[in-house]
A and B are shown apart, each in its own frame.
Chain A
Amino acid sequence: LYKKTFIEHFEQAPMYVAVLTFLGFGVGTIFGYLRDFMRAWGLEKRNVATEREQQKDFVPLYQDFENFYTRNLYMRIRDNWNRPICSVPGPQFDLMERVTDDYNWTFRFTGRTIKNVINMGSYNYLGFAETDVNALKTVTIELQKYGTGICSTRQEMGTLDKHVELEKLVAKFLGVEDAMVFGMGFATNSMNIPALVGKGCLILSDELNHTSLVLGARLSGATIRIFKHNNMQSLEKLLRDAIIYGQPRSHRAWRKIIILVEGIYSMEGSIVRLPEIVSLKKKYKAYLYLDEAHSIGAVGATGRGVVEYFGMSPDDVDVLMGTFTKSFGAAGGYIAGKKDLVDFLRTHSHSAVYATSMCPPVAEQIIRAMKCLMGQDGTTQGLQRVRQLGKNTRYFRRRLHEMGFIIYGNDDSPVVPLLLYMPGKIGAFARRMLEKNIGVVVVGFPATPITESRARFCVSAAHTREMLDTVLNALDELGDFLHLKYSRYSKSSHPELYEETRLELED
C-alpha cells in the first residue's frame, strides 16, 4: 500500500516532565487567583479596559472566569506573539523592536528595527515570498492594469478573465477536470462544506482538524463524529457503525458520508495516511475531502501535494481543497475535482454568491508561482525549490533528532514541532531565541493539549545551509541551558560521521 516507508514519531516524554508541567500550571493558577483577589480589592492597579459608565448596569459582556487564563497566564508571555515585522517575510526579516513598561499590558515601539532575524515561523515553504523585481514583474504589470479591488461577487460582476485563467491553471497543475478559486483560505472551508453536505449526512472528521473545517462542519447542520488522529481502526469502526446502524434513533440510512482530513496537520507535523483512507472510502462508499493547506507545494516530488507523495491518482480524492497562502506566497483558496462538483459549487457555494472574488495581483502571483513550479516559465527553478525544501527538511529533522529533542511528525513534513512541555519554558525559549536573532513560533494551550506546549519551526526552501546551521547551533545551546533534550533515544556522539549523501532518497 505504501510505496515509501512511512516514519512518524510521537515520543512520550518521561513522567517527571508531565508532573512538573502540571505543577507549573498549578503555580500559575494560584498566583492568578491571588492577583485577581488583589485587583478586586484595589490592592493592585487594574490595567484592563472597562465598560462605559452609562452601560454599567447592562449584562456584563464577558464572564470573569472566561478570561482567567488570558488575564493571568497568557498575559505574562504575551510578547512572544503578534510580533510586528516590517519587511518581506522571506528567510530573514526585520522585526520592529517592542518593549513593555508594565509587564505586557501595553507595548510601545522604540522605533528601532531588529534586522536580519532568521525566520523560522512564516509559512514560506517554497520561498515565493520575495521582492525580487524580475520575479514580481508580471504582478507589477497586473496591479497597474487592474488595481486592487473588485467590488463585486463572482456571480454578479466579479469574475475577471484572470480568475478563469487561474482556475484552468490550477486544474492543470493538480491533474483534475476543473477548479474554483476563492478569496480567503479559511472561508473556502467554512463556506463550501455547508454547500456540499446538509442535514441527514454524516461527517467523520479527524480529531486535530483545523478550526475552519470544524466551523464548516458545524454550519452545515450534518452530524459530526470524530475519529482519533490518523487512526485507521477508529475510522473504520465509525464507518461500519454508521452504515449498519444508520442515523441515531430513527435508524434511517445516512444520505452520504464524508471524511474530512488534512494533508499535513499544522500542529503535529504528521501526514495523513492517504492510501489507507482511500481504500476504506472505496470499500464503504464514502466521500473524501482533503484539505491540503500545508501540503500543496511542500510535499511530493514535483510539489503536487500528498496525492503525489503517495503515488496516487487525484481521481481517488473526491474533493481536493487547498490554500495559496503557504507555498505560493499569496492569499486565497481553491477547491478542485470533477466538473460536476465544481459546477455545483459555482451555483451553490456561499462564497460565489455573497463574497468578493480574489484580487487580480494576488491571482497573478499564484499564476506565476504555479507556472514556475510546473516549469512553464522555461527554467527548472520550481523543481529546484521543491528539492531544496526536501533536503532542508530532512537535514533539519535529522540534526534535531541527533541532538536529543523530542520532535513530532513525519520525517518528510516541513512543519517541525519541538516539544517544550512546561509553561515557563515557552516564554524563555522564544525570548532567548530572539536575543540570538532567530524568530520562532511557540504555541501553548488552548491550541495544543495542556501538557504539550511546543515550538513550531517551518522549514523553507529559501533557507540556506548556513542559516539552518546557525539555528541548529542556537537550539543546541538553548536546549542544554533549558534542559529541553528529553528524548530517551541514544544520541549520536559523532554527528560528523553522518554524511548528507547517505540519506538522499531516490527521486
Chain B
Amino acid sequence: MTNERRRIQPRSMNSLFFLFSTGAWVSAALVLRSKNPVHSVFYLVLTFLHASGLLLLQGLEFFALLQLLVYIGALAIMFLFVVMLLDIPATEIVAHQRGTYPVAGLLFLTLLIAIFGVLWQPMEKSPFVTPLLPEVASLPKETFLETSWQAASTAHSPLAQLGVALYGVHVDLLLLASLLLLVAMMGAVALTLKRRVHAPLHDVFVQHSVDFQKVVSKVQA
C-alpha cells in the first residue's frame, strides 16, 4: 500500500466521522425506544456497524473487521436467540420501563458530568486529553526509517503482525483459550441436555423466600 493511496482528504474524513457517529447515536436511541425486542437487536446491529465504520476511520482495519465478526456475528446473534427464547410480550416491556426512569436519569447526569470533564479539562495537566473533533489519521509524506526494526515494523500489515503474534509467538495462550471454549461448550451441554423428568423445576422465588429457621426446625422434627 503506497502512501498516496492511503491519503484521505480531511473534509471527507470529517463528514464520514459525522455520519458514522450520528448514525451510531441514532441507532442506539432506536434500540432503547423500539417496542419490539427483535427490532431492538436489529438496531443494535446497526450501531455496531457504525462503530465499525468509526474504527476504520481511525485506521484500525483489523479491529473493524473483528468488530463485524465478533460483535455482530456472535454477540448480536446470541442476543437474538435469547430474545426469541424469552418471548417477552411488548406491553410488559413498556410497563417495566417506567420504574427505571430515576436510575436512568441519575446515570444520564453522571454521563453529562463525564462529558463535561472530558471536553473542558478542569485540571491543568490531565492524562485524559480528548479533542472534540478527531484529528485526521494521515501518514506523513515520507517516513525516514533508520533502523532495521523500524523498517520491519511497517513492512507488514497489522493483520499479518497480529497473525504472527497470535499463532506463532503466543500459540500456547491460543490453545489454552480454545480449551476454555471447550469447557464452555461441555458445560452448556452437560448442564442442560437432559430429559425434563430427570430435572425438577425449581421455583427460585419460592426458594429465596423460605425462612431458614423454619426449614431447620422442620428437619429436626
A and B interact: no
